[in-house]
Amino acid sequence: MSESVIADFVGKFNSEVAGRGDPIRGRIVLSQKRLVLAASEDDKLTIPLDSIFDIAIGQVPPDLGDFFDSTVTIAFERKGKRLVAAIEAGDEKIEKFGTVLFKAVINGTETTVKERARVGGRVTDESFKTAKLFLTPGNVEFRRKDGSFNVDLKTVSDFDRNTREINGTGRPVLTVRHMKDGTAMTTLAAMASNRKMSILGRYLRREYAELMEELKDVELTKDKKEVLVAMYSTGDMDGMPLASILGKDSSQVSMILQDLSADGLVQDGADGPALTPTGKVVASRHLEDVNA
């Protein structure tokens, strides 16, 4: 290959193209333009990255058997047909390869982005600008000539996909609601390619699910929710003690704050206790619970 190699390892694989009953051991090589599954010099399957329309980690179609453990499954087009290939290796290797494959397909994609489409409850007059999209650890980064910005996935409260008219053309648009410097905002990102938008959505759902998985063991009592929401709603509290805002005993609030700190939702700030980015997301999700 003339392009540089991104990943090169030995594992097992199978595909609908090969039509094998069982997976075969061979070399998996990923470059900037293609993925090659090589059982031997004369037995290779080359998958151009621009033919891939879906990537899934840990899911294997029944037609390829139930013999896979840690897998990356790739859906791609070949000669007008939609086909699937599955790759198996150790847990750590597959996780790393899956992330690298997502990046190889997505990184450098041209997008049209509106960074601050909504700030708080206010719709802004920001315009769409061209940017290159990159996936970096824990972030989605938009690189523009007039300055880059990123969305920290730990601050995302939710996201969805819809279609909007941009410059007279209907485009798939990703709507991301997240926190930035303590303020809730919405970022819109449009792509010309439905294929890449679907792959980006798959990546974000996976990353977001992992972040939410980290929080599933956090037990949020009514008192914890009230403290989180009070801190989220009042911002810096203008120096007013949190106990006074909540109408609770200060020692009780201190104990709750210690528990929330252990949960990774509260941290020590310059002016006292402050929500972590994750704490802000959790608090925003429980606003209605407390206000109901």
Tell me which of 217, 244, 275 is where a domain ends.
217
Q: Do 36 and 100 fall into the same domain?
A: yes
Q: C-alpha 178: how far from its chain's center? A: 12
For tokens 């094998």, name the residue. Answer: 20
Domain CATH for 227: 1.10.10.10
- Residues 210 and 251 grouped into a single domain: no
**Rounded CA gap, 253 and 75, in Å?**
52
- Number of separate helices (H) and strands (E) present in the chain: 7, 17
How far is the C-alpha of 145 from the C-alpha of 95, rounded, in Å? Answer: 33
| 90 and 23 in a common domain | yes
| Residue 292 pLDDT | 47
Query: How many domains, the chain?
Result: 3
Which DSSP state fits 172?
Answer: E
Q: Are 284 and 202 found together in one domain?
A: no
Coil, strand, or helix at residue 24? strand
Same-domain pairing of 231 and 199: no
Name the percent of the chain lying above pLDDT 90: 42
Can you tell me the distance from the alpha carbon of 246 to that of 222, in angstroms, rounded to the nearest whole number?
12
| Residue 25 neighbours by CB distance under 10 Å | 10
In the prediction, which pLDDT does 286 show?
73
Instruction: Let me know whether 252 and 264 are in one domain.
Output: yes
| Rg over CA atoms, the chain | 23
171 and 203 housed in the same domain: yes
pTM above 0.75, yes or no: yes
CA-to-CA distance for 120 and 109, rounded, in angstroms?
29
Four-point Cα dihedral 168, 172, 178, 184, nearest 10: 30
Last residue of a domain, one of 63, 86, 105: 105
Residue 76 main-chain phi, psi, to 5 deg = -145, 165
pLDDT of residue 64: 52
Q: Are residues 136 and 212 in the same domain?
A: yes
What pLDDT sits at residue 236?
A: 47
- The CA distance from 272 to 168, in Å, is 50
Q: Which segments of the chain have a pLDDT < 50?
A: 1, 236-239, 292
CATH number of the domain bearing residue 177: 2.30.29.30
pLDDT value for 61: 57
- Whether 71 and 22 share a structural domain: yes
151 and 131 Cβ atoms separated by less than 8 Å: no
Separation CA 43–CA 41 (nearest Å): 6
Which residues span the domain enclosing 274? Answer: 222-291
